[in-house]
Structure 1
């Protein structure tokens, strides 16, 4: 008989799919940046700023930040769930990770709006 540990979470396929979708979003963003750099967007600060201040680039960058945070959340959460046993420490690490990722996303949005 298998003695299963009940953790109360049924993530499985949803998180696996989220990891793959967010990875695709990040790859597409990286390719857009690479094409922009190859076309001369990084030649000077003025051209880089013009490239990044376009509304479409702001939107794509915002999607990248959200995808990055979600991707990181799923990955780090799984690490905490797999390797940290005491429930109190696990909860504290989850909360700290979530607060850090929300802070990073807020900081990125602030930077995007400032352009």
Structure 2
């Protein structure tokens, strides 16, 4: 059986993964809005107070990981569907992965510096 290297063809697995990350991000949005409405931060110290406990930092980091994985699935499928030369597509995949990993590191640095 020969594998076709053009096109996403991941089907149900990526569809479920993208929906699951979307649900996680929606749940976080509700948690974040409740926290902001409860505290009504008007200063930088009040914003720091929202993220002072480990729970909010953790769920925020999970939100960002979900966002980056969600983005990876979408961009990967886009590259696979529309970029036909394998070398160009591979280069775009590597660049996308590097950027998303960099964003994850940056997000963790920001969150744990609060």
TM-score by length of 2: 0.89
Q: Which runs of 5+ in 1 are unaligned?
A: none
1:57-76 correspondence to structure 2 within 5 Å = 57-76=56-75
- Highest RCO, 1 vs 2 (Cα 8 Å, sep ≥ 6): 2
**Structure 1 residue ranges, 4+ long, deviating more than 3 angstroms after superposition:** none
CA contact (8 A) 1:36 1:42 kept: no
Q: Which runs of 5+ in 2 are unaligned?
A: none
1:1-115 correspondence to structure 2 within 5 Å = 6-7=4-5, 11-115=10-114
Q: Provide the rounded CA distance (Å) in 2 between the counterparts of 1:53 and 1:93.
A: 38
RMSD: 1.7
SS across alignment from 2:51: helix
TM-score by length of 1: 0.88
C-alpha deviation, 1:10, in angstroms: 5.5
